Amino acid sequence: MRNNKHSFNITFYLLIVPVLIWLIFMIVIPHAELLISSFQVEDDNGDMVFSFGNYIEFFTQKIYWLTFVKTAAYSIGVTLLAFIIAFPIAFYLTKVTSKKNAAFLMLLLLIPLWVGELVTVYGWMVLLGDHGVINHFLMTIGIINEPINMLYTNFSMVVGLLYMSMLFMVIPVMSTLQSMDDSLIEAACDLGASKWDIFTKIIIPYSMPGITSGAIIVFMLVIGDYLAPNLLGGKNSLWFTEQIYNDFLQTFNWNEGAAFGFLLLMLSSGIIWLALKLSGQKLEKVGA
C-alpha cells in the first residue's frame, strides 16, 4: 500500500504519535508497573525490596486461592448460562421475528446496557430483597407466608452477573447470524435434517465466531466485575476482585493488590487465549 520508508510522511506521523502515546502511557507502562509492584514488599526500614512474598501469600492462604478458583469457575458457569439464555434471543431477533419487531426489541435490549450496571444492580436489590418487590408480590397473592431469602446469596449474585453480561452475548451472535443466508437452513432442511440437526450442525458452527466473541467479552466482564458480587452477593459469595478492592481501598496493601491484579489478569488472559485456540479464532475478530 503505502511505503513509509522512503519519504517522510506527515500524515503517518500525525496518526501514529497520538496512538503511541495512548498505548505506551496508558497500556504498556501501567501494566509493567503492575507487574513490578507485585514483586515488591516493604522491608523493616520502610523501603521497597524485591520479593515473591505477595505471591507466596496468595498460595499459602487458602481463602485467597479458593476465592480465585471459585471466581474462575463461576465466571465460566455464568458465561455458559449467558450463552444458553442469549442464543435463542439472538436467533429470534435475526431469523424469526419481523424486521420491525426486531428493531423495537433491540431497543429494549440496549436500554439496560446503556443505563449502566449500577442502576440495574440496584434494581435487582429492590426486586430481590426480603421486603422487595418479588417477595411482596408473592406474599400478597398468597403463595408464600414468609419472605424467601434471595438477596445476598449466590443466586442473586449470579442473576446480577448474568443480567449485566448476557447482552454482550446477544449482540455478537446477532451479527454473525445476520450474515448467515437463510438458504443454508433451508438447504439443510431440504436434505432431511431435523431441527436439532440444523441447530447443532449448521447454525451453531456457523455462529461460532460470534459465540466466541460473546463468550470472551462476557467472561471478561464477569470475572472482573465488582458491583454484582459486592452488592448482590452474600457474605460467602467472595469474588476475587473484592480482594483487590480491599487491598487498595481498605488495607492499603497495594503490592499485594498488584499481585492479585496480575494473577487475575493472567487468569482471564489464559482462559481467553484457550478459548481462542479451541475455536481457532483471532483476537482481532473479537472486536468486530
Partner 1 sequence: MNNILEIKNLSKHFDDVTAVKNVDFAVEEGGFFSILGSSGCGKTTLLRIIAGFQQESEGDVIIRGQSMKGIPPEKRPVNIVFQNLALFPMMNVRENVAFGLKRQKLRKGDINYKVNEMLERVGLHGYENKKVTDLSGGQRQRVAIARSLVMNPSILLLDEPLGALDRKLREHMKVELKLLQKEIGTTFVYITHDQSEALVMSDKVAVMHDGQFEQIDTPRNLYKNPKTSFVAGFVGDSNRFELQSTEAGSMTTKGGWTLPQPDLNGSAKELYIRPEALILNPANNLNDVDRFEVTIKTILFDGSSTKLSTMVSGSNEELLISLPQNAQFEGIEEGHTLNVGIHHNDLKCF
Partner 2 sequence: MIRSLPSSPLYRINYRIYVFLFFTFLLMPLIAISVLAFNDSNFISLPWNGFTTDWFFSATDERQGLFSDEELIASIFTSLSTGFFVAALSTLVGTLAALLFEEEQFRLKGLLYFLALAPLVIPGVILGISLLLTATSAGNHIEDSFGLDVELFRPSYWLVVLGQFSFGATYVMLLVSARLKKFDRTLEEAALSLKATRLEAIWYVTLPFLRPAIIGAFVVAFILSFSNINTTIFLIGSDPTLPIDLYSRIRFSSTPVLNAVSFLIVLTISGFAIINLFANRSNK
* Long-range contact pairs involving 31-37 (C-beta distance under 8 Å, separation at least 24): 31/265, 34/258, 34/261, 34/262, 34/265, 35/258, 35/262, 37/254, 37/255, 37/258
Q: What are the cell numbers at 42? A: 516493604
Per-residue b or e along 217-244, where b marks 16 or more CB atoms closer than 10 Å to that residue's CB: bbbbbbbbbebbbbbbbeeebbbbbbbb
Listed ranges 29-37, 50-58, 60-68, 150-158: which one lies at the site for partner 2 (CB under 8 A): 29-37
User: Is 73 a binder of partner 2 (CB under 8 A)?
Assistant: no
Residue 61 CB, nearest approach to partner 1 (Å):
46
Considering only the stretches 9-17, 60-68, 81-89, 181-189, report the one whose residues sit in contact with partner 1 under the rule CB under 8 A: 181-189
Which part of the chain contacts partner 1 (CB under 8 A), choosing from 107-115, 118-126, 138-146, 202-210? 202-210
Q: How many CB atoms lie within 10 A of CB 109?
A: 19
Nearer to partner 1, 155 or 206 (CB): 206
* 172 near partner 2 (CB under 8 A): no
Position among 151, 174, 188, 211 found at the interface with partner 1 (CB under 8 A): 188
* CB 208, min distance to partner 2, A: 18
Q: Is 256 in the site for partner 2 (CB under 8 A)?
A: no
Asked if 186 interacts with partner 1 (CB under 8 A), we say yes
215 forms part of the interface with partner 2 (CB under 8 A): no
Q: Give the shortest CB-188-to-partner 1 separation in angstroms.
A: 7
**What's the full length of the chain, in residues?**
288
Least distance in Å: CB of 12 to partner 1? 34
| Residue in 123, 155, 208, 279 binding partner 2, rule: CB under 8 A | 123
- Binding residues for partner 2, total number by CB under 8 A: 94
In angstroms, how far is CA 188 from the centroid of its own chain?
34
Query: Which positions touch partner 1 (CB under 8 A)?
Result: 181, 183-184, 186-194, 197, 201-202, 205-206, 208
